[in-house]
Structure 1
Amino acid sequence: MSLDLLPFLLLILHHTNGQNSPNISIGSTFTAGDNGSLLSSSGDFAFGFYPVSDTLFLVGIWFNKIQERTLVWSANRDSPAETGSTISLTNGGQLVLNYANGTVQQIYSGTARLGIMQGDGNLFLRDTSSNNVWESFKFPTDTLLPGQTLLSAAKLYSNSNSSGNLKYSAGKFMLEMQYDGKLVLSAYHFADPGYWLSSQANQGNGEVNLVFNQRNALLYLEKGQNNTIYSFQKNVPTPVEDHYHRATLDSFGNFQQYAHHKTNGRNWVRVWKIPSEPCIVNAVCGAYGFCRSNDNETVDCECLPGYVFFDPSTPTLYARVQNCRKPEPETGKNQ
């Protein structure tokens, strides 16, 4: 983009609440509860405030055209913002979340002049020389999209299996692209070395990255350039461009790829998952529970002798996926 055109573009692309545009310029503001969003040119993806309740919102990116508006990235997954909170690209070029209670979160603290919601779901910030200075793809939460790469030492964290406002908060499972070239799933809260890992370690020079190929929607570990050392299953629905695709670390510790037909699809269809058996996931039932599964899909947790569920009356996403605790001492009895 020519620098001579920048002031004019900043003027015509200035965003106000309730409008949709593929770009944001300095001075632009979104307000939680006002339904304003930054759309990609196709409208497939949106950036803005994603509601998790009537009054709480996440700053996020989501699939915008399908009925299930699936969240793929968030800047404040552990701290939902209240109605009236704002996202601003300040006059100084910082991308800032201002909570309604006065708390401030710097999403990007450098100097940007323009933000662009790309058609692949990546939010770019650019400076006055049109250099990319920040992008959401470099800071993933629980999901990868085609065109995205999980670099060496980068991580995905599952969502919580809580219900309500904390549904999207960071959970207890992690996918890590290790320095040694192995991709590892672990229950990191429990100092778990891993319940699944790719079989190939890094040999020789060059970093290993997890690549989600945009052209064929396949995931693989790549060393250097065009040197594939591990591939996931290849039964991706075709034509690839007729589907939305994502790979997500779910709240029960499974890394899964999904596809959703853009026009005829009613829901996400799983392409593959690892591990194949849900009870292989370490600590899926917590430190004091053990796992059963009759169908290799749903999980039924039971507590070890001497322990009880934290809240047996609370329904969960799967049959009885809850952690266990020691029971409270009985009171009111003669000692």
Structure 2
Amino acid sequence: MKKTRHEISFLLLLSLTCFSSRICYGGDTITSTNFIKDPGTIISSNSVFKLGFFTPSNSTHRYVGIWFEKISPQTVVWVANRDTPLNNTSGIFTISNDGNLVVLDSANIILWSSNISSSSSAANNTIAQILDTGNLVLKDTSSGVIIWESFDHPSDKFLIPMKLMTNKRTNEHVGLTSWNSPSNPSTGNFTFLLDVRNIPEAVVLNGGKTYWRSGPWNGQSFIGIPEMYSVYLSGYSLSIQNQTYTLSVATNIESQQIVCLFISSQGNFEQRNWDDEKKQWNTSWVSPKTECDFYGTCGAFGICNAKTSPVCSCLTGFKPKQEKEWNQGNWSSGCVRKTTLKCENQLNNNTDAKEDGFLKLGMVKVPFFAEWSNAPVSIDDCRLKCLRNCSCSSYAFENGICMHWINDLIDIQQFDGVGANLYLRIASADLPTNSVRNKKGIIIAIVIPVTLVIFIIAIFLCWKRKINRQEKKLNMTASEKKKILKQTIGDDIMIEDEIKLKELPLYDFEKVAIATNYFDLNNKLGQGGFGPVYKGKLLNGQEIAVKRLSRASKQGYEEFINEVRVISKLQHRNLVRLLGCCIEGEEKMLIYEYMPNLSLDAWIFGSPRHKSLDWRKRFNIIDGIARGLLYLHRDSRLKIIHRDLKVSNILLDKDLNPKISDFGMARIFGGDEVQANTVRVVGTYGYMSPEYAMQGQFSEKSDVFSFGVLLLEIISGRRNTGFYLHESSISLLGFAWKLWTEDNLIPLIEPTIYEPCYQLEISRCIHVGLLCVQEFINERPNVSTIISMLNSEIVDLPSPKEPGFVGRPHETDTESSQKNLDQCSTNNVTLTAVIAR
């Protein structure tokens, strides 16, 4: 590169000054007189990043770069002269006469320059500074304006404050480019950037060709990255200004750790987190990681599913274009339509063709190159727009964005539980409903007459039964109804001091049937071991919930008796209220007050409503459950152990006040009784304490364990037995314990409730939850102590010990019958049958 004599003389003077004064490095800034000569360095103000000369491993070349000061081995995040290395240690990094940052060799030849051109830029007007964010900035000293920064010219790593940008008009972009190899920082084959030709997507290019893609941005996340629906959902944002699309990451994401995104020399895009305890980088996410992540694996109109073998298949209505190659595992040629679309037939004057249809493909990464519109439209408008365009092969409607695809569909990937719904346009003959239409016609012709006859007979029998029932009712007195109740639920609960029948109203079956519209399925709220639960409305307008005993449920009958025995004696604002019961013939029902907001699990697990449960509401729910439990254990006339405390048994009234329900498994303790044994363990896996599940022992502390699990579920929004995100923590309890030991509780907290002002209170609740789920009984607090801890009446909390059951149990909600266990040993060992719910 040619330079003027004046410039060269100036640079030689700087070099001589450096040698004579030895002021060549130090501080965090570079000027025309205070520059870096190899091996000098400068360090950011808080010693986070260092700037200077370095040599990669297995190399002899010298480069100017930025790396983490306190992390070893050296992790370089930016390189200046990546394509023009120095061959010796004579390099200088300084500011030239024209105000640019430059790397010079021993002959003062410029190997790299920031390459800015500004009339105001001059050596005496600019200063360079390394910041604690890892950004090297060049500023105009007179105005303070940043005229160049390394964040706009990244290498292979993305630090959290950085932004990726692409201008749609000029196609200029700020992206990552891989190293050529781990020991060679020169420009590699892989580039990570934003593709904004259609809907914005993040892509990895290999020599200019698409290698991997994220799927389109839906306003919150990239559709093709499943992890963004949970772990990273709240961290990323995409903005548009003057046709420039900017992707950024919130600075508080993973604030407890050093995080960087990285494009490797092999084309892997990774997120790495620094483990300060183990002094190593951990890869928390990487892509591509399966065959389906590579772009276009299955060709046009193919779909890839990493969980099937082979991974590729043709979409419905399509067949392999090259059958032989396809069967040999070469899917690149893709698939073609089996039947021509109606639009194409009409263009060929075939007017007999039937209307095309759309087939829903659920939970997929949608294809590349979508045309889109975010103008206010509905999914029906989106469908109609595609149907009217013969070239439109599919559409999707995601977060108010209507997407269309013209011609071939490439790079569709099947996911589980996440992704978008893609509606594929296929010919009428290939629709799944058409293939069975003829069979359906024959079946309907036979079934309708037979059904009609059966229906008429059923109506007659129901009418006859109703007449007989009404005649029987007319002759039944109130005392006889009470006598039936006594015969049904036993003499032991008819003692006048324990139950007064006048306090437990009896409801006529006919009134209950009318209230529930004769147990219409549309009024069914749920199903348990007891039997189905229906919503009803009495003639006076009162809404009720009706638990109807299933005739086939032996356990349900026992629960019915137990629930009447227990809950008829209880009254507390945090317990569901029993209004009465209905007993007529084989019908046995419990009538409760209706809870309009249903159960807590319907709010916190996978429901859009979880966003409306902020931290204050969740804490009130936690506190209410604890106070209801305290009433059961200490404050009621009887001491009661619930034995089945779980999220689905917490009901919410119209004001979201919690009500503990389902006392079918509850046990009444005597005044001095603190523990009991059973050979029939009932409850729900994931909530049962170790001593109860393994030995059949239950006490107040068994309910405390269940409360601890429930508390952690409310805070995290995750099920204990359904949480397997981290390999090292195979349950929610294990995950919470791992984060506790790492002093990093933020990943446990539901993102929608986390606010810095609540962090101490939430952390305190997690602390209490971990105390509740400790393995040994005597280490768990009682409920009165829990309430004091939650409300900060006890300031210093003991340190929790490792929870019981951090392993992965098998969850089931089905009742199993009790098995008869023969005694196989003369030792004093109790054989316990576990009945899971």
Q: Which TM-score band applies after superposition, normalised by the shorter structure?
A: 0.5 to 0.7
Determine the C-alpha separation between the residues in 1 that align with 2:246 and 2:253: 26
- Report the counterpart of residue 85 of structure 1 in structure 2: 91
- Report the counterpart of residue 280 of structure 2 in structure 1: 267
Measured against aligned partners, the alpha-carbon deviations of 1:207-263 in whole angstroms (never above 9, x if no partner) come to xxxxxxxxx9976351349xx99999x9x9x993442111000111111111113x4
- Report the counterpart of residue 25 of structure 1 in structure 2: 31
- Report the counterpart of residue 197 of structure 1 in structure 2: 214
| Local SS of the residue matching 2:151 | helix
Contact 2:177 2:187 in 1 (8 A): yes
Determine the C-alpha separation between the residues in 2 that align with 1:217 and 1:95: 38
Contact 2:240 2:246 in 1 (8 A): no
- Report the counterpart of residue 71 of structure 2 in structure 1: 66
1:173 maps to amino acid: F
Larger Rg: 2
- Report the counterpart of residue 51 of structure 1 in structure 2: 55
- Report the counterpart of residue 154 of structure 1 in structure 2: 174
How big is the alpha-carbon RMSD for the aligned residues of Structure 1 and Structure 2?
Answer: 3.5
Q: What's the offset of the Cα at 1:25?
A: 2.3
**Larger helix share, 1 or 2:** 2
Q: What's the offset of the Cα at 1:264?
A: 2.2
Determine the C-alpha separation between the residues in 2 that align with 1:145 and 1:42: 17
1:223 maps to amino acid: S
1:174 aligned onto 2:191: yes
The change in CA–CA distance for 1:195 and 1:94 in structure 2 (over 3 A counts) is: closer
Measured against aligned partners, the alpha-carbon deviations of 1:106-141 in whole angstroms (never above 9, x if no partner) come to 224442521111111001111021111111000011
Q: What's the offset of the Cα at 1:198?
A: 2.5
Determine the C-alpha separation between the residues in 1 that align with 2:93 and 2:260: 26
- Report the counterpart of residue 38 of structure 1 in structure 2: 42
The change in CA–CA distance for 1:49 and 1:168 in structure 2 (over 3 A counts) is: same
Q: What's the offset of the Cα at 1:92?
A: 4.1
Percent of aligned positions with the same letter in both sequences?
25
| Local SS of the residue matching 2:51 | strand
| Local SS of the residue matching 1:243 | coil
2:150 maps to amino acid: S
1:207-226 aligned within 5 A: 220-224=236-240
Contact 2:25 2:36 in 1 (8 A): no
**Larger strand share, 1 or 2:** 1
Determine the C-alpha separation between the residues in 2 that align with 1:156 and 1:139: 8
Find the partner of 1:114 among 120, 127, 133: 127
After TM superposition, where is structure 1 displaced by more than 3 Å over at least 4 residues in a row? 14-19, 216-219, 228-232, 238-242, 278-282
Determine the C-alpha separation between the residues in 1 that align with 2:247 and 2:132: 28
Aligned residues: 244
Q: What's the offset of the Cα at 1:148?
A: 0.5
Determine the C-alpha separation between the residues in 2 that align with 1:239 and 1:107: 31
- Report the counterpart of residue 185 of structure 1 in structure 2: 204
Measured against aligned partners, the alpha-carbon deviations of 1:258-314 in whole angstroms (never above 9, x if no partner) come to 1113x42411011211222279557xxxxxxxxxxxxxxxxxxxxxxxxxxxxxxxx
Q: What's the offset of the Cα at 1:21?
A: 0.7
Contact 2:67 2:74 in 1 (8 A): yes
1:37 maps to amino acid: T
2:282 maps to amino acid: V
2:113 maps to amino acid: Q
Determine the C-alpha separation between the residues in 1 that align with 2:233 and 2:68: 16
Determine the C-alpha separation between the residues in 1 that align with 2:25 and 2:256: 28
Q: What's the offset of the Cα at 1:55?
A: 4.7
Contact 2:78 2:154 in 1 (8 A): yes
Residue segments in structure 1 that go unaligned for 5+ positions in a row = 1-13, 203-215, 283-335
Q: What's the offset of the Cα at 1:47?
A: 1.2
Q: What's the offset of the Cα at 1:67?
A: 1.1
The change in CA–CA distance for 1:217 and 1:79 in structure 2 (over 3 A counts) is: farther
1:20 maps to amino acid: G
- Report the counterpart of residue 75 of structure 1 in structure 2: 80
Contact 1:16 1:28 in 2 (8 A): no
Contact 1:81 1:99 in 2 (8 A): yes
Find the partner of 1:254 among 239, 259, 268: 268
1:200 maps to amino acid: W
Determine the C-alpha separation between the residues in 2 that align with 1:134 and 1:231: 19
- Report the counterpart of residue 313 of structure 1 in structure 2: none
Between the two structures, name the one with larger relative contact order (CA 8 Å, sep ≥ 6).
Answer: 1
Determine the C-alpha separation between the residues in 2 that align with 1:170 and 1:218: 33
Residue segments in structure 2 that go unaligned for 5+ positions in a row = 1-17, 167-172, 220-231, 296-837
| Local SS of the residue matching 1:116 | strand
